[in-house]
A and B are shown apart, each in its own frame.
Chain A
Amino acid sequence: MKEMKLFLGPQHPGMHGNASVHIYVDGDIIKKSFLLPGMLHRGFEKGMERHSWVNNISLIPRVCVVEPDTNEMAFAMAVEMLAKLEVPERAHWIRMIILELARLSIHLMAYGGLGSPTGLYTMMYHAHTDRNTILNIFEKITGHRVYHQYIVPGGVRKDLPVGIEKDIHSFLDDLESRYEEYRDLGINNPTIQARINDTIPLPAEVVWELGVTGIGMRSAVNKPYDLRKVKPYARYDQVEFDVPVAPYSDAYARVDCKLQEVVQSIGIIRQCLAKMPEGDVRVPISRGQAMRWTVPKGHVYACVESSRGEFGYFMVSDGGTNPYRVGVRGASYPQGLLGIEKYLPGTRLDDAALWVDTMGVCSPEIDR
């Protein structure tokens, strides 16, 4: 049979974000596949060199659209490592609340996004409505729905508003009470199970070859390799949580791990709200002269665990008012580019969208 070239995306309902997968098919079976990145390239790494350290705060959340808070956290950690800033104790706990709320929101979005390749749209409506509640909570805390610019070098921008604990608790209780319903809707549903069981497996041997991190890796190697456990940042060493793992990474296992992480995140937020001390939330950096603030020389790499894996900022300072070089290690870089090239061939055409969804390929952070 003759090979045929197809484009999955950029304009395709099953594609998440503005990227394109070029697929050569023989009948239904993928023979060759490539990701075509770069449609969201904005020249971030160059742009950051051209702004001062403080101006960059407004630029960095835009690197990854769906998950701006991990960007802010990684950037803030890198600058704090360079400038040797001590973050106040309360700020650590507020950061963890924000990060875990963001993780909840993106897991819900990914779980809802599973609706489009599998054709089950009910789940999407439930998940996006809950995500909208999280965005409303973010709006109360930070003033913005999506790009918060809340985690800044030296702490967080402002203290939590009075009474926000009640909102967060009521949302978490609500989500927890409907957790089983979520599972029944999605991955306990026999139709969905037949669709995603044993689909696009990722063998444990090839994980290291690709460099995949996050849920894709943990569900393959069956070990709790989570940066929050392995090299704890903020105060993740003082809260109790489990890292869900699985022995065999197929689409089902990855979605299952995601849903289990939702439970763990709910637990972490509750512990944070209970353990959070009073006090300052921000170290003032060179008060009144933020534009002139300089950071000592150095090369650092700071990384956090995003919902898709290790998200890192490599940062070089030459002692000036601007960063000398900022490199972004997008968490979905390996599974997006090399993963699609190497491990999609051999699967069926309709599974390509499932790979993009369950491995979490976020095109803005690949392109930058």
Chain B
Amino acid sequence: MTNSMSNTEFVTNLVESKFKVLSTEVLDKYQVSFEVKKEDVHSLLSLLKTSGWIQLSYLSAVDWPNDNEFELVYIVFNWDKAVHIQIRCRLDRETASMNSILPIFPGCKYYEREAHEFFGIKFPGNPDHEKQLILEEWDDIPPLRKDFDPRAYSDRKFSKMEYKNDFVNKNGEVSKQDARTKRYDDIDKLRTGGKK
């Protein structure tokens, strides 16, 4: 195996010479990440596949509701050069649709189906992508979108255990329930960055 530092440089040169890359990031000596335009993804993936990145490791999406965009992530791997490449592109959130990469990587079939199920991104070219895979009879917006609140859904649909106080408070003492509520409030404050 050649020096792996040169491998990331090789990848960067290979991609940047042929495509307009919005941002490049060398994360460590085994991983490079590119952000490209939506139109370039297919040709870039084909180029990488012919250059030895024959394994599709992962395909998924990230929701950015503030930018009103979805980010699609493709991760491919070359076992001889030992470099993972992340390819990311942004889609419009309202009309999220991306041509399937099924002709390039047949392994993407179920990843795309899952991305459709959890984010609602359409993949024209993948015949089954609109069928449900993991959820069954889902009746809400796709659950991995940021504006979906699982706790509200759970409270609405699944009845919770009801607890009742079976102890008596003595006068002047802080009840355990109050102390617990206060502790949870403190934790919430810490989470949001406030002072104790």
Tell me, yes or no, whether A and B come into direct contact in the complex with CB atoms closer than 8 A: yes
Inter-chain CA distance A210–B62, complex, in Å, is: 24
- Contact across chains for A301 and B84 when beta carbons are under 8 A apart: yes
- Contact across chains for B134 and A367 when beta carbons are under 8 A apart: yes
Contacts of B84 in A (CB 8 A): 301, 303
Q: Is B56 an interface residue (CB 8 A)?
A: yes
The one of B56, B88, B150 that contacts A47, using a Cβ cutoff of 8 Å: B150
- Contact across chains for B86 and A299 when beta carbons are under 8 A apart: yes
Binds A, one of B25-33, B89-97, B156-164: B25-33
Contacts of B10 in A (CB 8 A): none
Q: Is A300 an interface residue (CB 8 A)?
A: yes
Nearest chain A residue, comparing its CB with the CB of B193 = A292
Size of interface on A: residues with Cβ below 8 Å to B: 41
Q: Is A289 an interface residue (CB 8 A)?
A: yes
Nearest chain B residue, comparing its CB with the CB of A329 = B58
Contacts of B193 in A (CB 8 A): 292, 321
Q: Is B39 an interface residue (CB 8 A)?
A: no
- Contact across chains for A43 and B150 when beta carbons are under 8 A apart: yes
- Contact across chains for B135 and A81 when beta carbons are under 8 A apart: no
Size of interface on B: residues with Cβ below 8 Å to A: 44
How many A-B pairs have beta carbons closer than 8 Å: the answer is 97
Inter-chain CA distance A321–B189, complex, in Å, is: 12
- Contact across chains for B134 and A37 when beta carbons are under 8 A apart: yes
The one of A45, A213, A333 that contacts B144, using a Cβ cutoff of 8 Å: A45
- Contact across chains for B55 and A314 when beta carbons are under 8 A apart: no
Contacts of B79 in A (CB 8 A): 223, 225, 230
From residue B61, how far is it (CB to closest CB) to chain A in Å? 9
Q: Is A324 an interface residue (CB 8 A)?
A: yes
- Contact across chains for A211 and B75 when beta carbons are under 8 A apart: no
Contacts of B31 in A (CB 8 A): 300-301
Q: Is B63 an interface residue (CB 8 A)?
A: yes
Indicate with 1 or 0, residue by residue over B93-121, a CB within 8 angstroms of chain A CB atoms. 00000000000011101110000001000
- Contact across chains for B106 and A338 when beta carbons are under 8 A apart: yes
From residue B12, how far is it (CB to closest CB) to chain A in Å? 16
Sorted nearest first, the 7 A-B pairs with minimum C-beta distance are A211-B107, A38-B134, A337-B110, A329-B58, A291-B190, A231-B30, A327-B60
Given A52-B191, A292-B193, A299-B33: 9 more A-B contacts, CB < 8 Å: A291-B191, A299-B25, A299-B73, A301-B57, A301-B84, A312-B75, A325-B62, A333-B110, A338-B110
